[in-house]
Structure 1
Amino acid sequence: MHDIGYQRYTGTRLGRRHVVGALYAHSLRTAFGLGRSAKAKIFPWFIVAIVVAVAAGLVAIRTQIGEVLLSYAQFADAMSWLVIFFVAVVAPELVSRDLGSGVLPLYFSRPLRIADYPLAKFAALATAVFMLLGVPQLVMFLGGAFTTETGWSGVWNEVTDLAPGLVYALLWAAVFSAIGLTVASVTGKRAFAAGGVVAVFLMTTPIVGVLGVLPSVTANQLAGLAAPSTLVQGTGLWLFRDALVTSPDGGGIGIGDFGPVYGLVTVALIAGCVVALLARYRKAARR
């Protein structure tokens, strides 16, 4: 027999926690194309460049005219359309590739449990989206803190304005990542998965428009529940009205007294998507 040099592994076996951590770190790097070809880095870093450039531009304008054009929370709203395309491209990279290549049995061997895989992917994508919205807000914060004319009180005001913006960014990240991964996990074809993600986000928007022009005030105020973007905006308006609404007329956003409904639907949507992900991978593991 020919000895080709196979040897048994004699190092330390780190266990499930380290495996999940490695999967999370690898998925987060994949979201930004790190450790991959230059082609894989083009789109995510192009999006990063846009949001950082917009933040830097807002800082420059603020230093020149002395006015805040967008609050931290409003910045997340303004960049939400970029988040849609970011999730549509990254989510299939995280899950559809593994489904299409049939390597899931390797992941689901010991000590990784079936639930660990989708949860690690969800955490990684949510972190990537949060960074996409949160890092530019930090750029805006640094610009505001270093140019304030009221000393430490001005810096503290910037901190209190930044906190709702970061929480709001986390809300965007959780909702969009949950939906994006759930849709992408349906197929192993990345192109189909990307198209499905975009369709879910964009094709529900006209429904909001139709409900918003109905003669019923209740229907108008609940219209935002029909689309992920407006659902997040409605929840944000309930939680952070002062940070999102700066005009006396309410900025054209109206949810009435249905803020708690928006919050409950948001939580239910995230939970439902996570449950669907777990069910999807339990089914995939049996193949």
Structure 2
Amino acid sequence: MSESTTGVIHDIGYQRYTGARLGRSYRARSLYTHSLRTAFGLGRGFKAKLFPWAVVAIVTLAATFIAALESQSGEQLSTYPEFVDAMGFVVMLLLASVAPELLTRDLRARVLVLYFARPVRRDDYVMIKYAALVSAVFLLLGGPQLIMFLGDAFSVDGVGDFRRAVTDLLGGWLYTLLFALVMSAVALMISSFTPRRAFAAGGIVAVFMVTIPVAGALSVLSGTPGHLAGLVNPAWVVSGVGAWLAHHESPVDIGNTGPVYAVTAVVIVAACLAVLLARYRRVEQ
């Protein structure tokens, strides 16, 4: 005589999610906030905060020192674009530390599949990381410029001079934004090719530093070749744009080639982002 078997349904209390579905834009904002906090080591241990905040302290102290001297002497020691150029080496070190941190950890831990399983597209991921790094560089340089502005504003005579000080600050912030856009694009592109943070940091330093003596050697050439020598180095490209638009000092004499520097800056950003997008359309597939 055969025994009949019957199935048993167990109620494990499963319920469908009925809360708000915040969607793609919320996840994009969350990833941006997380990436920007990561750039400054916020929410992490002391070691992660040490280097970025040391860089913040160096740049802030430099701006404070300039503002104090200008208020005492009544003479302008540095324009805002010149301040950005002077801090270029420090910013390069920060980029070599932060850009790999934003990308290589996700590549090494192979968590991109989790990101892309939700409404954060691959293109979104790239652009959010780029926006976070640009914001970090802009805050690093733009905040200290505000200190310089306050020192300048308190020493001016009349409304006309104050308006000139405000215009100079806005021009400095525009230059800083261009600097952040170009340098961040290059740093992120290099970081995307390896999950090893040390290799990515070394590649960033090599690109930014090795091209300086090359550009310097080419700048001794006469005529147009010498004027275009700055195109070899990303930071000098930005400086060339500033020299063309604002007539501030540049490492090389750009002559009448200012528009070429401007076009090159746009091409660098577009090319680096195109490489990044192509890279992340293939990764983790």
Q: Into which bin does the TM-score normalised by the smaller protein fall?
A: over 0.9
Corresponding residue to 2:120 among 109, 112, 120: 112
Letter in 1 for 2:130: F
Where does residue 168 of structure 1 map in the other structure?
175
Letter in 2 for 1:160: T
Structure 1: gaps spanning 5 or more residues = 246-250
Q: CA deviation at 1:201?
A: 0.5
In the alignment, is the contact (CA less than 8 A) between 2:229 and 2:252 conserved in 1? no
Q: Does 136-145 or 9-18 show the bigger shift?
A: 9-18
Q: CA deviation at 1:170?
A: 0.4
Letter in 1 for 2:168: D
| 1:71 and 2:70 aligned | no
> In percent, how many aligned pairs have the same letter?
53
Corresponding residue to 2:163 among 151, 156, 178: 156
Hey, what's the Cα distance between the residues in 1 that align with 2:44 and 2:13?
29
Letter in 1 for 2:229: A
Where does residue 231 of structure 1 map in the other structure?
237
If you compute each CA radius of gyration, which structure gives the higher value, 1 or 2? 2
Corresponding residue to 1:11 among 19, 22, 25: 19
Q: Does 6-15 or 123-132 show the bigger shift?
A: 6-15
Q: CA deviation at 1:235?
A: 1.2
Where does residue 273 of structure 1 map in the other structure?
272
Letter in 2 for 1:268: V
In the alignment, is the contact (CA less than 8 A) between 2:228 and 2:254 conserved in 1? yes
Hey, what's the Cα distance between the residues in 1 that align with 2:140 and 2:80?
13
Where does residue 103 of structure 2 map in the other structure?
95
Letter in 1 for 2:208: F
| 1:198 and 2:197 aligned | no
Q: CA deviation at 1:182?
A: 0.4
Q: CA deviation at 1:218?
A: 1.2
Q: Secondary structure at the match of 1:107?
A: helix
Where does residue 215 of structure 2 map in the other structure?
208
Task: Count residues with an aligned counterpart.
Answer: 277
| 1:240 and 2:246 aligned | yes
Q: Secondary structure at the match of 1:69?
A: coil
Q: CA deviation at 1:62?
A: 1.0
Q: CA deviation at 1:6?
A: 7.7
Distance of aligned partners of 1:153 and 1:96 in 2 relative to their CA distance in 1, 3 Å threshold: same
Q: CA deviation at 1:86?
A: 0.6
Normalising by structure 2, report the TM-score: 0.93
Q: CA deviation at 1:151?
A: 2.9
Deviations 1:77-103 (CA, angstroms, capped at 9, x unpaired):
111111100100000110011001100
Q: Which runs of 4+ in 1 moved over 6 A?
A: 1-7
Hey, what's the Cα distance between the residues in 1 that align with 2:143 and 2:152?
14
Deviations 1:216-267 (CA, angstroms, capped at 9, x unpaired):
31111010001111111111111211xx24xxxxx76411111111100110
Letter in 2 for 1:162: L
Hey, what's the Cα distance between the residues in 1 that align with 2:256 and 2:11?
75
| 1:140 and 2:148 aligned | yes
Hey, what's the Cα distance between the residues in 1 that align with 2:107 and 2:142?
30
Hey, what's the Cα distance between the residues in 1 that align with 2:99 and 2:11?
43
Where does residue 248 of structure 1 map in the other structure?
none
Q: CA deviation at 1:10?
A: 3.4
Hey, what's the Cα distance between the residues in 2 that align with 1:126 and 1:281?
19
Question: 1:123-134 residue pairs with structure 2 within 5 A?
Answer: 123-134=131-142
Letter in 2 for 1:259: G
Letter in 1 for 2:182: V
Deviations 1:41-68 (CA, angstroms, capped at 9, x unpaired):
0000000001110111011111211111
Q: Secondary structure at the match of 2:154?
A: helix
Hey, what's the Cα distance between the residues in 2 that align with 1:111 and 1:252?
45
Letter in 2 for 1:271: A
Hey, what's the Cα distance between the residues in 1 that align with 2:244 and 2:31?
35
Hey, what's the Cα distance between the residues in 1 that align with 2:70 and 2:14?
64
In the alignment, is the contact (CA less than 8 A) between 1:108 and 1:285 conserved in 2? no
Letter in 1 for 2:261: Y
In the alignment, is the contact (CA less than 8 A) between 2:153 and 2:162 conserved in 1? yes
Normalising by structure 1, report the TM-score: 0.92
Q: Secondary structure at the match of 1:147?
A: coil
Q: CA deviation at 1:147?
A: 2.6
Distance of aligned partners of 1:7 and 1:85 in 2 relative to their CA distance in 1, 3 Å threshold: farther
